Amino acid sequence: MNTMQGDKGLPPLFNKPLSSIYWLSIIITVSVAIRMGVFLILYLPNFVKTKSEGLIIQRDITAFITNRLKLKVN
C-alpha cells in the first residue's frame, strides 16, 4: 500500500535519490552560495568604510537587487 510514498514519507518525485529535481536543487543551492560568496568578497570592504559611504553603497546595492528582481518578474 505504501508504493506512492516510499519508506520515509517523501513525495514521489524525491523517491529516486538521483532524480533531476534533486540535482536541480543542488545546482541552485551551489550557485546561490557562490554568488553570495562573491558578493561578500567584493562588497564587504566597502561596508567597513565610513557609515555615510556604506549607506550610499547599501542603497545602490538594494536598488540593483530590486531592479534585477523586477526584470526576473517581467
pLDDT in tens, 13-66: 555 566 777 778 888 999 988 888 888 777 776 666 655 665 676 778 888 888
Give the predicted TM-score (pTM) of the model: 0.36
Domain coordinates of the chain in residue numbers?
17-73
Long-range contacts of 20-26 (CB under 8 A, 24+ apart): none
